[in-house]
């Protein structure tokens, strides 16, 4: 009796497994000729050969759905779902399919059943790019808030598997209100050619630069000498132990009617260089009548690009008059000296403001241009612009930009073939990372949003993806080790430049350790 019962269960189980394996494409259907709407929109785009499954939901009336992904090489993947119509692609089959189809096309056939009648939509395609994307994306998740920042953290996302892991969060402060002042973590960045070297900031009491270099984690007070503020926007030298920073006195104003409710701007900003081995800060630009911010190195480390404005808030009194151009300066690493500043992109002459330059390995400069200011993440006019530094040709990267919402913080993959950009195109409020392929001819393709296991993940997420940057390797430092560094005394950076006794004395919203 007992044996019979067991065998019944085994048979039932086998039937279940077999039926799951043998999902079949409907044979009796009507072609409705319509374009299928899927969310996120992954249609007609170019995807990396090492990307995690690009799951999506089919937006169509129906109680069942079947999707068949047909590659040029190999067998198709067929997925069936119920009324939710969420298509979740098996990781292993997806990886095999992408590997076998680099440079080739995948065709998606979507069938939806309503009241027993199957409809077949017009197929859409994706091209699998020959070039891989960096395997990790790091970012901060933060509410789109104005003053307080609440619970936030740094995370890394494995673009190959879709797994998100925590680097560091401030959740202690959230649970214990007496720790609320310990709340800000931001500006995570890795050294391009040595991805094991990383940094981020921890603000508030016991704050400072949390630097991981050659496997050692330390907390450094980078406000040194006559700097009026701590360091803010970092730029790792591609290979040498230098980090260029801007040092900013940041303020913000709220607007009473404008849909752009907040404006963040700098009262003062300069550039400094941090020599990791010497633990020494030296001035790069120390100008009283100019502002310099958002530095970035050229791929060979010979030039430092940055945004600079001739207007100062204290002179103009209106942040809409703060306009930035893109400049660069030559760097001599042997003696840490700098050449003259050279204008790279003139935005001011057309009454625009450009910032956040980022260089690709093959000489393309990507930056954000908007109507004014430097905090382009909230500017609806913010768009990515592309400058070919070899030809001088510059254009709006319209194929990647959204028509009405902010497209701002961005990064190049290590091979220069992929762009990630934080865009608020979904709802105007919550930024999401979009990826776009950039081919060798300088053409970009339709961007796609970060793929998640649950296609509705980002609809549910009430936080912004902030400072999205590629990384070639994961962060392995455990959060408890970082916490131990935060709890231990900080190391003060020394100051290697002459101190100006009449230096501006201003309170900073940036990282002051003392």
Partner 1 sequence: MSNKNEKLPKAAITSEPVYHWIAEGVFFLFSFLFLGMYNGELLYKLQSSSLFLGNSIFAQESINQSAGLLVYASRFLIQLLFHPLLGGALLAAGLVGIERMIYILFAPKGTFAFLSFIPSLLIMLVQTSVGYALYDNFESSSIVSIELGTALSLALTLLFLLIDKEHRLWGMVANLLIAVLLFFGIGIFALLPVFLFAIKTRPSNRKEFRIASVAGIALLLLLPFITDKYVYQEKYIMAMLSPISDAYFSNLYHLSLAVLLSILLIAVFKFKDTRFSNRIMVINVFMLALLCYGTYHYSFRDENYRTELTLQHQAENMEWESMLNTVRKVKKPTQGIAAYRYIALLNTNQMDDLFNFPCRYDTIKSPYKMLTIEVYYPDLYFYSSQLNQAMMWNMEFWVNSGRNFGLLKRFAMFSLVKGEMNSARKYINLMKQTMFYSKWAYEHEKYIGHQDLLFHDYPILKLVNAMQIKEDISFGISNLPNTYIKYPSMDAANLQRRLMMDLYSKQTDQFMLDIQYLSDTYREKGSMPVCMQEVLALYALNKGDMTINRFPVRKDVIERVKNFVAAVQPYANDLDTGAEAMKDYEDDYCYFLVFSKVFPKEKKDKEEEKK
- Considering only 15, 454, 494, 507, the residue that binds partner 1 (CB under 8 A) is 454
Nearest to 50 by CA among 159, 127, 204, 197: 159
Query: How far apart are CB 446 and partner 1 at their closest, in Å?
Result: 20
Q: Which of residues 259-278 bind partner 1 (CB under 8 A)?
A: 259, 261-263
Give the HSE-up count for residue 336: Cα atoms under 13 Å, Cβ half-sphere: 20
Regarding 479 and contact with partner 1 (CB under 8 A), the answer is yes
Q: How far is the CB of 252 from partner 1 (least distance, A)?
A: 9
Q: Which is nearer to partner 1, 102 or 251 (CB)?
A: 251
Q: How far apart are CA 394 and CA 421, in angstroms?
A: 18
Q: Which two tokens stand for residue 247?
A: 């040092």
257 is a contact residue toward partner 1 (CB under 8 A):
yes
For the chain, the residue count is: 514
Q: Is 440 in the site for partner 1 (CB under 8 A)?
A: no
Please report whether residue 59 would count as binding partner 1 according to CB under 8 A.
no
* Among 96, 151, 280, 310, contact with partner 1 (rule: CB under 8 A): 151
Interface pick for partner 1 out of 226, 310, 459, 492 (rule CB under 8 A): 459
The yes or no reply on residue 426 touching partner 1 (CB under 8 A) is yes
Asked if 147 is part of the footprint of partner 1 (rule: CB under 8 A), the reply reads: yes
CA gap 409, 469 in Å, rounded: 9
Q: Decide: is 256 part of the binding site for partner 1 (CB under 8 A).
A: yes
Q: Which of 178, 335, 340, 391 binds partner 1 (CB under 8 A)?
A: 178
Place of tokens 């790019």: 129
Per-residue HEC secondary structure of 174-217 comes to HHCHHHCCCCCEEEEEEECCEEEEEEEEECCCCCEEEEEECCEE
Query: What is the C-alpha separation between 481 and 488, in angstroms, rounded?
Result: 11
Count Cβ atoms below 10 Å from residue 347 Cβ, excluding itself: 22
> Which residue number, 399 or 453, has a Cβ lying nearer to partner 1?
453
- Note whether 82 binds partner 1 by CB under 8 A: no
Angle at the Cα of 420 from the Cα atoms of 346 and 60, rounded to 5 degrees: 125
| 175 part of the interface to partner 1, by CB under 8 A | yes
Task: Give the count of residues interacting with partner 1 (CB under 8 A).
Answer: 43
Q: Is 480 in the site for partner 1 (CB under 8 A)?
A: yes
Locate 142 and state its tokens: 């933060």
41 near partner 1, rule: CB under 8 A: no
Q: How far, in Å, CA of 394 to CA of 345, rounded?
A: 9
Q: How far apart are the C-alpha atoms of 232 and 512, rounded to whole Å?
A: 10
Nearest to 123 by CA among 48, 64, 68, 51: 68
User: Restricting to residues 364-403, which ones interact with partner 1 according to CB under 8 A?
Assistant: none
For position 317 contacting partner 1 by CB under 8 A, the verdict is no
- Cβ-in-10-Å burial (0-12, 13-18, 19+) of 498 comes to exposed
Answer for which of 3, 115, 116, 177 binds partner 1 (CB under 8 A) is 177
* Cα distances (angstroms) measured from residue 315 to each of 26, 89, 219, 396: 70, 57, 36, 31
| Residue of the chain from 12, 17, 114, 255 that contacts partner 1 (CB under 8 A) | 255
Minimum distance between the CB of residue 433 and partner 1, rounded to whole angstroms? Answer: 16
Eight-class DSSP state of 319: G
Report the residue from 193, 483, 497, 512 that binds partner 1 according to the rule CB under 8 A. Answer: 483
Q: Determine, following the binding rule CB under 8 A, whether residue 171 of this chain makes contact with partner 1.
A: yes
Per the DSSP assignment, residues forming a β-bridge with 354 are: 369
Q: How far is the CB of 320 from partner 1 (least distance, A)?
A: 10
Q: Which residues contact partner 1 by CB under 8 A?
A: 143-151, 171-172, 174-178, 180, 253-259, 261-263, 426-430, 454, 456-457, 459-462, 478-480, 483
């Amino acid at each position: 009796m007992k044996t019979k019962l067991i065998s019944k269960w085994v048979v039932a189980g086998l039937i279940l497994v077999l039926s799951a394996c043998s999902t079949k494409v409907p044979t009796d259907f009507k072609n409705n000729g319509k374009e299928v709407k899927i969310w996120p929109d992954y249609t007609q785009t170019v995807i990396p050969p090492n990307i995690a499954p690009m799951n999506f939901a089919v937006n169509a009336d129906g109680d069942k759905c079947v999707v068949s992904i047909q590659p040029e090489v190999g067998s198709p993947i067929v997925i069936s779902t119920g009324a939710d119509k969420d298509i979740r692609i098996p990781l292993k089959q997806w990886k095999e399919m992408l590997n076998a189809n680099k440079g080739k096309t995948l065709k998606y056939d979507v069938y939806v059943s309503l009241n027993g009648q199957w409809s077949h939509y017009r197929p859409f395609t994706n091209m699998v790019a020959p070039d891989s994307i960096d395997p990790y994306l790091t970012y901060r998740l933060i509410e789109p808030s104005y003053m307080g920042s609440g619970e936030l953290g740094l995370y890394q996302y494995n673009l190959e598997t879709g797994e998100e892991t925590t680097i560091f969060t401030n959740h202690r402060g959230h649970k214990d209100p007496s720790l609320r002042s310990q709340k800000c973590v931001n500006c995570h960045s890795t050294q391009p050619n040595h991805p094991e070297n990383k940094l981020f900031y921890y603000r508030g009491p016991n704050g400072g630069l949390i630097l991981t270099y050659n496997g050692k984690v330390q907390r450094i007070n980078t406000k040194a000498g006559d700097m009026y503020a701590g360091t803010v926007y970092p730029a790792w030298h591609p290979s040498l132990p230098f980090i260029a920073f801007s040092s900013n006195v940041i303020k913000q104003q709220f607007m009473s009617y404008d849909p752009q409710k907040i404006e963040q701007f700098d009262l003062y900003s300069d550039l400094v260089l941090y020599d990791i081995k010497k633990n020494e800060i030296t001035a790069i630009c120390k100008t009283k009548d100019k502002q310099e911010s958002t530095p970035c190195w050229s791929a060979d480390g010979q030039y430092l690009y940055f945004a600079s404005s001739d207007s100062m808030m204290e002179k103009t009194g209106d942040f809409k008059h703060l306009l930035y151009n893109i400049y660069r300066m030559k760097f001599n690493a042997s003696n840490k000296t700098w050449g003259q500043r050279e204008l790279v992109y003139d935005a001011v002459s057309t009454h625009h403001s450009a910032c956040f330059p980022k260089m690709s390995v093959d000489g393309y400069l990507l930056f954000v241009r908007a109507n004014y200011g430097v905090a382009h993440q909230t500017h609806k006019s913010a768009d990515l612009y592309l400058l070919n530094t070899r030809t001088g040709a510059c254009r709006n990267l319209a194929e990647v930009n959204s028509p009405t919402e902010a497209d701002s913080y961005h990064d190049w993959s290590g091979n220069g073939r992929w762009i990630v950009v934080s865009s608020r195109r979904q709802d105007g409020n919550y930024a999401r990372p979009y990826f776009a392929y950039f081919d060798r001819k300088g053409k970009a393709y339709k961007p796609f949003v970060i793929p998640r296991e649950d296609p509705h993940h980002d609809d549910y997420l009430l936080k912004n993806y902030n400072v999205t940057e590629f990384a070639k390797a994961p962060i392995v430092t455990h959060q408890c080790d970082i916490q131990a560094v935060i709890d231990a005394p900080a190391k003060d950076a020394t100051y290697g430049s002459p101190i100006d006794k009449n230096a501006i004395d201003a309170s900073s919203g940036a990282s002051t350790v003392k």
